[in-house]
A and B are shown apart, each in its own frame.
Chain A
Amino acid sequence: MPELLPRVTLFLNLQDNMTKTGANICEEKLFNELFKINSKDLYKFLLYKYGPENNPADLVQEAFIKLWNNCHRVIPEKARSFLFTVANNQMLNDLAKKKTVIKYNLENQTGHNIESPEYLMEEKQFMDRLQRAIQELTEEQRVTFLLNRVEGKKHKEIAEMLGISQKAVEKRIYTALSAIIEKVGKI
């Protein structure tokens, strides 16, 4: 149950922060800064975890609205974990959650210009198998794996985002990779 942990710690942090004073998220400038720093990562986190069908951009908006409404109670240092926890919980609470569909987009691929029909065929089959394998990963495995392999996020960063240990991140990535190798198999 690693997801429960950040929620508990967040709650405790909120309790502490009630009495603290200092920089205030309610200030437009700081809030804007926090948005610049966190919105993109939060968006990718939600996208890789739940897929584009579940409106990650809107969930980012909701999370920041929640942060704004609680701006007096969250200190800036805890804003990032607040945002990720809120966004993740929103998704969990959303009963109408759609099946995660992560799709590849060949426009992003580089380097292949003129290919033989057979090669293109093989390529397409490979991509389809890879896509299915990624979709069949658990949410936790997928978000960890893609943040690392596609976005190039470091283990430490991912651990902070998810509120888990670096060891757990490493383990998830390895498990995800094993599953993909097993399903997509040899070339």
Chain B
Amino acid sequence: MEKEDYLKKWLQGSLNEEEKSVFQRTDDYRFLEKMSDSLMSFKAPEYNVEAEYERLSARRSVKGKVITMNWFSPLLKVAAVLMLMAGSYFFFLYDAPTVVETLAKEKAELVLPDSSFVALNALSRLSFHDKNWKKERLVELEGEGFFKVAKGSKFDVVTSSGKVSVLGTAFNVSNRKDYFEVICYEGSVEVQSANEIVRLLPKEIFRTISGVASKEITATDDAPGWRAGQSSFQSIPFRYVIQEFERQYDVSVTARNVDTNQLFTGSFPHSDLSLGLKSIALPLNLTYQIFEDKKIILTGDIQ
């Protein structure tokens, strides 16, 4: 047997007894034995599977988050586009209305973009769209306002009780609970309420009280009384007078033994509470008491 064959068989560990005893006497065999011993010194350092797995897990969890983001990012893209669209809508297209509000006892005046003039009585709210103004002169009104409209195209006042349309004029709109009143001072005014369309000329009044509409002529000035600091009434149920009084003085009025449906003609000033009270109480033969917490009691003589 050749040396090569011995070596191969030794490597495979397939030498038989006879071959082994022959091979063991050679220098090659002694070398191989020594080498085998010595090779153990080349053994790889121990590999700590547990520790290495922990190290791997720490790194893998970072990768895991990246994978999550991959799933998440299409949603982020969609969200970003939506935000952009919403943002540009609000920036370029959305026209937030301009709102003017008054509290009780308060009045306000403002000039609209076309230099039309509006005065707001107490507890009223006016809103309009600046950007749309050139196309459409339209304001929304709750409460009472006096308008002096610049000449031009149609001007609309929208209220919950009806729409008032004019072409350059001065008029007053009062839209209170169950009470709707339009007074024309200049030019002509068209009032569209739920049931009818009425055209008003100067000094004409259109009223809807609790759903009952009426049209009257009034000997009024060229502006409503409240503009000059007093509220004037002409054949108005007394309860609306009380409501207006509450708004002008920011008080609460209780009427005892008073027929609040009786008609009232007269006026009260806005500047002096006791004078105002006298103005509404004396004509109806009522007595009044003023309490500290803005409460007023009117007492009549109905049994």
A interface residue numbers (CB < 8 A to B): 32, 35-36, 39-40, 43-44, 47-48, 52, 57, 60-61, 64-65, 68-69, 102-106, 108-111, 126-127, 130-131, 134, 146, 148-151, 170, 173-174, 177-178, 180-181, 184, 186-187
In Å, the complex CA distance between A151 and B44 comes to 9
List A contacts of B47 (CB < 8 A): 39-40, 43-44, 57
| 10 A-B pairs with the lowest CB-CB distances in the bound complex, closest first | A104-B41, A43-B47, A47-B44, A108-B41, A40-B47, A44-B44, A109-B41, A35-B53, A104-B42, A150-B43
Task: Say whether A43 contacts B44, CB under 8 Å.
Answer: yes
**Interface membership of B60, Cβ < 8 A:** yes
B interface residue numbers (CB < 8 A to A): 4, 7-8, 11-12, 27-28, 30-31, 34-45, 47, 49, 52-53, 55-56, 59-60, 63
List B contacts of A170 (CB < 8 A): 8, 11-12
> Assuming A65-B59, A174-B8, is B42 touching A146 (CB within 8 A)?
yes
Task: Say whether A187 contacts B30, CB under 8 Å.
Answer: yes
Task: Say whether B35 contacts A184, CB under 8 Å.
Answer: yes
Q: List 5 A-B contacts (CB under 8 A).
A: A35-B53, A40-B47, A64-B60, A131-B42, A186-B31
List B contacts of A127 (CB < 8 A): 38, 41
A34 CB to nearest B CB, Å: 10
Task: Say whether B39 contacts A149, CB under 8 Å.
Answer: yes
Looking across the interface, which residue of chain A has its beta carbon closest to that of B27? A186
Looking across the interface, which residue of chain B has its beta carbon closest to that of A47? B44
> Assuming A178-B7, A181-B28, is B49 touching A109 (CB within 8 A)?
no
Task: Say whether A187 contacts B7, CB under 8 Å.
Answer: no
List B contacts of A69 (CB < 8 A): 63
Task: Say whether A126 contacts B38, CB under 8 Å.
Answer: yes
List B contacts of A57 (CB < 8 A): 47, 52
Task: Say whether B42 contacts A65, CB under 8 Å.
Answer: no
List A contacts of B41 (CB < 8 A): 104-106, 108-109, 127
A132 CB to nearest B CB, Å: 12
In Å, the complex CA distance between A170 and B10 comes to 12
Looking across the interface, which residue of chain B has its beta carbon closest to that of A155? B12
B66 CB to nearest A CB, Å: 9
B170 CB to nearest A CB, Å: 79
List A contacts of B38 (CB < 8 A): 104, 109, 126-127, 130
In Å, the complex CA distance between A135 and B26 comes to 26
> Assuming A39-B52, A181-B28, A187-B30, is B11 touching A108 (CB within 8 A)?
no
Task: Say whether A61 contacts B45, CB under 8 Å.
Answer: no
A94 CB to nearest B CB, Å: 18
Task: Say whether A52 contacts B52, CB under 8 Å.
Answer: no
List A contacts of B63 (CB < 8 A): 65, 68-69
In Å, the complex CA distance between A34 and B51 comes to 15
A61 partner, pick from B35, B40, B56, beta carbons under 8 A:
B56
List B contacts of A186 (CB < 8 A): 27, 31
List A contacts of B28 (CB < 8 A): 181
B53 CB to nearest A CB, Å: 5
List B contacts of A68 (CB < 8 A): 60, 63
In Å, the complex CA distance between A44 and B63 comes to 26
List B contacts of A36 (CB < 8 A): 49, 53
> Assuming A109-B41, A177-B11, is B31 touching A60 (CB within 8 A)?
no
List B contacts of A178 (CB < 8 A): 7
In Å, the complex CA distance between A186 and B41 comes to 19
List B contacts of A32 (CB < 8 A): 53
Q: Given A65-B63, A105-B42, A126-B34, output 9 extra A-B contacts at Cβ < 8 Å.
A: A52-B45, A61-B52, A109-B38, A130-B39, A149-B39, A150-B39, A150-B42, A173-B11, A187-B34
B52 partner, pick from A60, A109, A174, A181, beta carbons under 8 A:
A60
A61 CB to nearest B CB, Å: 5
> Assuming A61-B56, A174-B11, A177-B11, is B42 touching A102 (CB within 8 A)?
yes
A71 CB to nearest B CB, Å: 10
B87 CB to nearest A CB, Å: 37
List A contacts of B53 (CB < 8 A): 32, 35-36, 39
> Assuming A127-B38, A187-B27, is B60 touching A65 (CB within 8 A)?
yes
In Å, the complex CA distance between A146 and B38 comes to 12
List A contacts of B42 (CB < 8 A): 102-105, 108, 131, 134, 146, 150
In Å, the complex CA distance between A174 and B9 comes to 10
In Å, the complex CA distance between A57 and B59 comes to 14
Looking across the interface, which residue of chain B has its beta carbon closest to that of A174? B8
